[in-house]
Amino acid sequence: MAEAQVRVLAIHAHPDDVEFQCAGTLALLGRAGCHLTIATMAPGDCGSVEHDAEAIAAIRRREAKEAADLIGADYHCLEFRDLAIFSDDPSRRRVVEFLRRTRPDVILTAPPADYLADHEATHLLVRDACFIAPIPNYATRQWDPAPPLERIPALYLVDPLEGKDREGNPVPPEFWVDVSEVWDLKRRMLSCHESQRNWLLRQHGIDEYLVSQEHWSSHRGSEIGVAFAEGFRQYKGHPYPQENRLLELLGQDGRGGRR
């Protein structure tokens, strides 16, 4: 019997978060034969001074799908709204239902401490949904609900922005993924998010969108002696999987070498 295809989900708060933090790893997983899904909790509806919320949300969903298409990934938005993602009961049931429908074996998601509340709430919701999704008696109250998962997915946390928590304290990775061979693809994925570059320039005075991505990826790469890398920690709370399935799938040792 053929081995089932490994299903990988990268879920973060907004369009472009995944492209900054783990798109290279996703590209490598796709090359390794995994089924890929990228999801955002919200569509980026507050990210514009030129368009209303509905218009910019449509633009950013389209950009997110274009980026996902570059690595053959599905794209979904859970349709929360910017700055309105909270770890509450209705939200938890929505995320559990999404996990039951996408049925991931491996999940990459936001870290617990980051500069933005939406990122931190995404972490809490995804972390708890992983635990809850296999529980048969937990009803999501959705029309035609999906069946429970067979097991808790392996859960990995991407870097916070600039590798720092809210107080500016460093958050070091537990391991690194060398993404040098897919760097150009990672860069092309972020390039799809043109509207976000415009927003950062107007709202925060930040340009050089792609340069920021390159700077951070090269910084993580320098820590293990490669050109570009992405940093991760594995969530190992009881009873989440303890073995590093992500590195096994990639054939890397987490320090710039090969298994």
Q: Would you list the domain boundaries of the chain?
A: 7-250
Determine which of 141-150, 187-196, 229-238 has the lowest per-residue pLDDT on average.
187-196
Q: What per-residue confidence (pLDDT) applies to 49?
A: 73
Q: Would the pTM of this model clear 0.85, i.e. be above it?
A: yes
The more confidently predicted of residues 230 and 196 is 230
**Taking the alpha carbons of 98, 104, 110, 112 in that order, is the dihedral positive or negative?**
positive
Residue 83 DSSP SS3? coil
Q: How far is Cα 66 from Cα 63, in angstroms, rounded to an integer?
A: 5
CA pseudo-torsion sign 82, 201, 75, 22: negative
Mean pLDDT over 19-47 rounds to 96
Comparison of pLDDT for 195 and 217, the residue scoring more: 217
pLDDT for 211 equals: 81
∠ CA 167-172-174, rounded to 5°:
140
**Average pLDDT score over the chain:** 94
- The pLDDT value recorded for residue 156 is 99
For the cut 70, the answer to whether the pLDDT of residue 205 exceeds it is: no
Share of the chain above pLDDT 70, in %: 95
Closest alpha carbon to 216 in 254, 248, 176: 176
Is the domain covering 7-250 a CATH 3.40.50.10320 domain? yes
Which pLDDT score is estimated for 199?
A: 60
Which range among 48-57, 103-112, 190-199, 248-257 shows the weakest confidence by mean pLDDT? Answer: 190-199
Q: List, for residues 57-100, the tens digit of each pLDDT value.
A: 999 999 999 999 999 999 999 999 999 999 999 999 999 999 99
